[in-house]
């Protein structure tokens, strides 16, 4: 079933998924340049924190990892996420666009689709990492997954540069 069209004058509820990549920044800037007049404020900025690789930490520490190591890793991840969101919010502020940030934890492919559905967005915008067919085979493609599994329209912005 297609997502309902926004009411006249209401604007579109748009979510942009961001990560640390140049492709992500390009997609955000593209959305701001091309969609700003049609947005229903605020623009949603989503980032997904990967699950901590505790299995590797356990193996490296010969058993149960010390709680302070886990806490330190979690704090470092929070700081990196906050820095990423601060950069994205600054880009939006340059365009005069208000934002709401959303942080999820888990597999990016699944969490992006779940967040888009939970927030009932009209459009999801993603950057394309432009991986070759071999990399896509082994690494998968977040944008490809979202195109096929999200319940809303998905716009994949390719970086031409």
Task: Break the chain into its structural domains and give their ranges.
Answer: 14-158
- Say what the pLDDT of residue 8 is: 46
pLDDT class for 141, splitting at 50, 70, 90?
confident
Q: Which residues lie below 8 Å from residue 28, measured CB to CB, with a gap of 6+?
A: 16, 18, 45, 88, 91, 92, 125, 127
Minimum mean pLDDT range among 74-78, 89-93, 116-120: 74-78
What length is written for the chain? 161
Instruction: Kindly report the pTM of this predicted structure.
Output: 0.81
- Say what the pLDDT of residue 88 is: 96
- Architecture of the domain delimited by 14-158: 3-Layer(aba) Sandwich (3.40)
- Say what the pLDDT of residue 132 is: 58
Minimum mean pLDDT range among 31-45, 110-124, 127-141, 147-161: 127-141
């Amino acid at each position: 079933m297609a997502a309902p069209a926004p009411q006249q004058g209401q604007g579109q509820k748009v979510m942009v998924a961001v990560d640390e990549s140049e492709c992500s920044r390009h997609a955000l800037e593209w959305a701001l340049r091309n969609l700003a007049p049609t947005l229903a404020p605020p623009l949603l900025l989503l980032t997904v924190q990967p699950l901590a690789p505790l299995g590797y930490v356990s193996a490296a520490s010969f058993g149960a990892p010390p709680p302070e190591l886990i806490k330190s890793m979690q704090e470092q991840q929070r700081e990196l996420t906050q820095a990423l969101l601060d950069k994205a919010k600054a880009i939006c502020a340059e365009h005069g666009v208000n934002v709401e940030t959303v942080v999820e934890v888990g597999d990016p492919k699944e969490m992006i689709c779940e967040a888009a559905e939970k927030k009932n967005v009209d459009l999801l915008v993603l950057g394309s990492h432009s991986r070759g067919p071999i990399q896509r085979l082994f690494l998968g493609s977040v944008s490809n997954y979202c195109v096929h599994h999200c319940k809303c329209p998905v716009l994949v912005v390719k970086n031409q540069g």
